[in-house]
Amino acid sequence: MAGRLSGRFVGYGRGFSGVDNGACCREVKHGGEFGVKPLISVVLPVYNGSAYLREAVGSILEQTYRDFELIIINDGSSDDSSQIISSFGDQRIRAFDQENIGLAATLNRGISLSRGSYVARQDQDDISYPTRFAKQIAFLEQTPRCGMVGTWAEIWRETDRTDRAHRHPSENGLLKLDLLFNNPFVHSSMMLRREVFDEVGLYCTDRSRQPPEDYEMWSRVARRFEVANIPEILHVYREAQFSMSRERWEQMMDMVVAISAENIADAAGLSDGNAQARNLAALANGVFGKITGRPNPWEMKRIYCRAAENATASCAGDVSRKMIRQRWQSIRYNYCKYVAYPLLGSLIRRYRKPL
């Protein structure tokens, strides 16, 4: 299964090669001492992010763990993001301007420019609490088999705190179970070992597989490394007020189903394009429009059990069995809805009396 990995995913580089860092990416601020290698490289892409950029950058500069470089790439912003970036005098900042190339390609450029043993993410509108880096470094240093670690995150609605938070599982097996179907990580909270990119490649830049860039990336990482979340709120995830268009949402969910189907097939030892694995992914995400043919509940359960057992192999038995059972109950419920709604509709149309 691992041997099929590089053939399945397209549009991403292997390691740090193949990234064009030419004249279109111009360094406008060089921080730190030349030749001094920081332990962490923080990659912060910016596109018209002036509203919260100062707060995001400030939250990184206020980290209690201070051995890092902050790589800020202005991806063709038309607002005053460039002026805000230039206003910071911290020597750990390395700032770059470029023409707009999009999020995934900008992240790849930032990773290729990085010098640290670890690569951390930060978004232009999110906030990292002061002990985030210290706790992630301590975790990764103590857990050598773990390739990446995220954190829990508060959810803010613009400037307003909410009572909601992203509290995803923290343990490797349960995260791999979740990854079969969707993304259990907050992108902006992630820290990865540098060798992860050498092993699995960079972010996928194939537009037909975007969004979600992060779910696709984490799926590849989890095939080769253990993964984790620190079960502590060390980050703020800021929700935007505007809503994603229906068309854009449907495109993203179609891609989530496609990646989920690949993950299920890989974990179950099936070939790519297995119809029941795709139907299982569609039902798990409630995207009934991506179901093809006639879903076979017995075959889907067999595939699910095999994939889930392989994903949770590192978990304690009682915990994994409970999570596997709960997930299957949710899928079965969606299957019942998928079967029942058309029947209900036909009965209503059949017996509806004319006015």
**pLDDT tens track for 238-276:** 987 665 666 788 889 999 999 999 999 999 999 989 999
pLDDT in tens, 279-302: 999 999 999 999 999 899 999 999
Lowest mean pLDDT among 111-115, 206-210, 249-253, 306-310: 206-210
| pLDDT (0 to 100) of residue 315 | 79
- HEC assignment per residue over 309-348: HHHCCCCCHHHHHHHHHHHHHHHHHHHHHHHHHHHHHHHH
Q: Is the pLDDT of residue 347 over 70?
A: no
| pLDDT (0 to 100) of residue 352 | 55
Tell me which fold the domain 24-242 belongs to: Spore Coat Polysaccharide Biosynthesis Protein SpsA; Chain A (3.90.550)
Residue with tokens 């899928």: 331
pLDDT in tens, 188-224: 999 999 999 999 999 999 988 878 899 999 999 999 9
Q: CA 311, CA 298: separation in Å to the nearest integer?
A: 20
Q: Which two tokens stand for residue 304?
A: 């699910």
pTM, two decimal places: 0.88
Query: Residue 36: in which H helix or E strand, if any?
Result: none
Q: Which ranges in the chain are annotated with CATH 3.90.550.10?
A: 24-242
pLDDT in tens, 45-101: 999 999 999 999 999 999 999 999 999 999 999 999 999 999 999 999 999 999 999
| Cβ 63 vs Cβ 127: under 8 Å | no
Alpha helices in 62-171 (DSSP H): 81-86, 103-113, 132-142
Q: Is the pLDDT of residue 108 over 90?
A: yes
Q: Is the pLDDT of residue 187 over 90?
A: yes
| pLDDT (0 to 100) of residue 340 | 80
Nearest to 135 by CA among 120, 117, 115: 120
Q: CA 188, CA 55: separation in Å to the nearest integer?
A: 14
Q: Find the helix packing angle between 275-284 and 246-268, rounded to 10°.
A: 130
Q: Which two tokens stand for residue 161?
A: 């705190």
Q: How far is CA 85 from CA 11, 15, 67, in A?
A: 30, 28, 20
pLDDT in tens, 121-151: 999 999 999 999 999 999 999 999 999 999 9
Residue with tokens 């002026």: 83
Peptide bond into 212 cis (omega under 30): yes
Q: Tell whether the torsion through CA atoms of 299, 301, 302 and 306 is positive or negative.
A: positive
